[in-house]
């Protein structure tokens, strides 16, 4: 498959253009600064470190594991406008549609240690993050249709602070990406009878070319339809699991273990503090949707060929469709070749 071709994303319904021959082209464009200068374990100026004051004026407690607080600059707010405010004075033109939304945004500090990342945390501490994700999701799902847990990591991704942290945005609506995935998974179940991502994980395990790491519960694969060079789809492969709270204790342990292995490989790939946006897609909060929805996480790293060269989604990709140069098979092979002990930690 060295010729240009398109691949179909079964999960989103989008196509991606693959141009493997193009990865040889010279690069004289923007070179990003390599991330990863040493940080202290506690930074008195960091608004996420334990005991410090946040930008909104509140003070973080002296937390020792994970810590969750309500985002001081939340994109979604619990209360909608009052009825007087909701009624427009004059009917707006039909083409200018809008809807009110309600929601809640939280920040999760993964660790009190300012100098760590998920990849460098011990598996037991990552297990604590998994617990927090489950607990927060369970709480917010009782009130909202969609709970988006995510981590935006690295300056290159627009992350505002290197302290290891993620976010949760919960809202009373199903956002675009979730709606596309819901429709695609439903379509698959209706026409094939199985669960799309379980069938997909089985296909990838049989084929093997795109699998990066696997344990008894989870498969991490550079998906057939990956857009980002080192994109990963993380799926619980052993059974139908719609939501985080449906994971057994064993599956949660296995999740912490596979995250450690996957994220270490990411850092080792370019020997850098590997940036990405990652997040969980659980079944939306409506009982009939759980039948076809399989829990999964996406990892979207922006890096292309080194710690300093980033993939840009511009031009044809903004106007036509996404395109990639290195194939998912080559990306997966490179990640498989990486070590599972972190390059910054002493080898014994
Ligand atoms: P990033 O993932 O982009 O770094 O975002 C961190 C979040 O933390 C961001 O959404 C919030 C910002 O609103 N924040 C607070 O809630 N309190 C603060 O004191 C600073 C940042
Ligand atoms: Zn900090």
Q: Which residues line ligand 1 (CB under 6 A)?
A: 47, 54-56, 71-73, 107, 152, 159-161, 167
Q: Which two tokens stand for residue 331?
A: 């990306």
| 340 CA → ligand 1 middle, Å | 31
| Interval between CA 338 and ligand 2 midpoint (Å) | 29
Which numbered atom of ligand 1 lies nearest the CA of 55?
19
The mean pLDDT of 160-174, rounded to a whole number, is 96
Instruction: Please give the full DSSP string across 226-292, using - where no structure is assigned.
Output: --STT-EEEEE-SS---SGGG--HHHHHHHHHHHHHHHHHHHHHTTS---EEEEEE---S-GGGTTT
Q: How far apart are CA 182 and CA 284, in angstroms?
A: 8
Ligand 1 atom having least distance to the Cα of 47: 19
318 falls in which pLDDT band (50, 70, 90)? very high
Atom of ligand 1 nearest to the CA of 56: 19
Residue 159's pLDDT band (cuts 50, 70, 90): confident
Ligand closest to CA 54: 1
Tell me the pLDDT tens digit for each residue of 284-314: 998 666 689 999 999 999 999 899 889 999 9
Q: What confidence tens digit (pLDDT) does each residue in 124-153 have?
A: 999 999 999 999 999 999 999 999 999 999
For residue 29, pLDDT beyond 80: no
pLDDT at 22: 76
Q: Check residue 34 and give its pLDDT.
A: 63
- Per-residue pLDDT tens over the stretch 174-202: 999 999 999 999 999 999 999 999 999 99
Q: Which residues contact 206 (CB under 8 A, 6 or more apart)?
A: none
What pLDDT score does 55 carry? 92
Q: Is 23 or 315 the better-scoring residue by pLDDT? A: 315
| CA gap 209, 212 in Å, rounded | 9
Q: Give the residue numbers annotated as catalytic, written as ranges.
A: 165
Nearest to 108 by CA among 172, 171, 153: 153
Closest to 175 in 3D by CA, of 288, 30, 282: 282
For residue 92, the model assigns a pLDDT of 85
296 pairs with which residues across the strands?
A: 281
Residues 120, 111: Cα–Cα separation, whole Å: 11
pLDDT value at residue 158 = 86
* For residues 24-33, average pLDDT: 62
Got the DSSP string for 57-116? S-B----SS-EEEE-TT-SS-SS---HHHHS-SSPPPTTS------EEEEEEES-S-TT-
- What confidence tier does 31 reach under pLDDT thresholds 50, 70, 90? low
Residues, Cβ < 5 Å to ion ligand 2: 43, 46, 48-49, 114, 163
Residue 87 has pLDDT above 70, yes or no: no
Query: At residue 80, does pLDDT exceed 90?
Result: no
For the chain, list the domains and their CATH numbers: 5-21+39-78+100-346 (3.30.428.10)
Closest CA to 320 of 227, 220, 235: 227
Contact (CB, 8 A) for 235 and 20? no
User: Is 38 in contact with 342 (CB distance < 8 Å)?
Assistant: no
Closest CA to 260 of 116, 107, 64: 116
CB 236 within 8 A of CB 253: no
* pLDDT for position 1: 74
Pick the ligand that lies closest to the CA of residue 41. Answer: 2
Q: Tell me the mean pLDDT in the region 33-37.
A: 61
Shortest-distance ligand to the CA of residue 75: 1
pLDDT tier, 35 (very low <50, low <70, confident <90, very high otherwise): low
Residue position matching structure tokens 């909608």 = 80
Residue tagged 């922006």 (tokens) = 302
């Amino acid at each position: 498959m060295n010729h240009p071709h398109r691949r179909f994303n079964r999960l989103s319904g989008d196509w991606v253009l693959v141009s493997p021959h193009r990865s040889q082209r010279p690069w004289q464009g923007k070179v990003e600064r390599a991330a990863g200068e040493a940080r202290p374990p506690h930074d008195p100026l960091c608004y996420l470190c334990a005991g410090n004051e946040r930008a909104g004026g509140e003070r973080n407690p002296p937390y020792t594991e994970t810590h969750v607080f309500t985002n001081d600059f939340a994109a979604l707010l619990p209360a909608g406008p009052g009825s007087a405010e909701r009624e427009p004075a004059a009917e707006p033109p039909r083409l200018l549609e809008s809807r009110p939304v309600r929601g809640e945004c939280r920040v999760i500090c993964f660790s009190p240690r300012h100098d760590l990342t998920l990849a460098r945390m011990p598996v037991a501490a990552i297990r604590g993050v998994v617990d927090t994700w489950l607990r927060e999701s369970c709480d917010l799902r009782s009130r909202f249709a969609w709970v988006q847990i995510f981590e935006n990591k690295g300056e290159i991704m627009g992350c505002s602070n290197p302290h290891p942290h993620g976010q949760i945005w919960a809202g009373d609506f199903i956002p675009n990406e979730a709606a596309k995935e819901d429709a695609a998974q439903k379509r698959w179940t209706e026409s094939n009878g199985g669960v799309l991502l379980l069938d997909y994980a089985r296909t990838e395990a049989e084929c093997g070319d795109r699998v990066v790491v696997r344990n008894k519960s989870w498969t991490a694969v550079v998906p057939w339809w990956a857009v980002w060079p080192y994109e990963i789809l993380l799926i619980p492969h052993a059974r139908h699991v719609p939501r985080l709270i449906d994971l057994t204790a064993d599956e949660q342990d296995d999740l912490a273990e596979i995250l450690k292995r996957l994220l270490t490989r990411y850092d080792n790939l370019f020997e850098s503090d590997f940036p990405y946006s990652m997040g969980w897609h659980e079944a939306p909060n409506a009982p009939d949707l759980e039948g076809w929805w399989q829990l999964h996480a996406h990892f979207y790293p922006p890096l292309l060929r080194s710690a300093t060269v980033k993939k840009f989604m511009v031009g044809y990709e903004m106007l036509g469709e996404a395109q990639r140069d290195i194939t998912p098979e080559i990306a997966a092979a490179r990640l498989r070749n990486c070590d599972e002990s972190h390059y910054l930690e002493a080898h014994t």
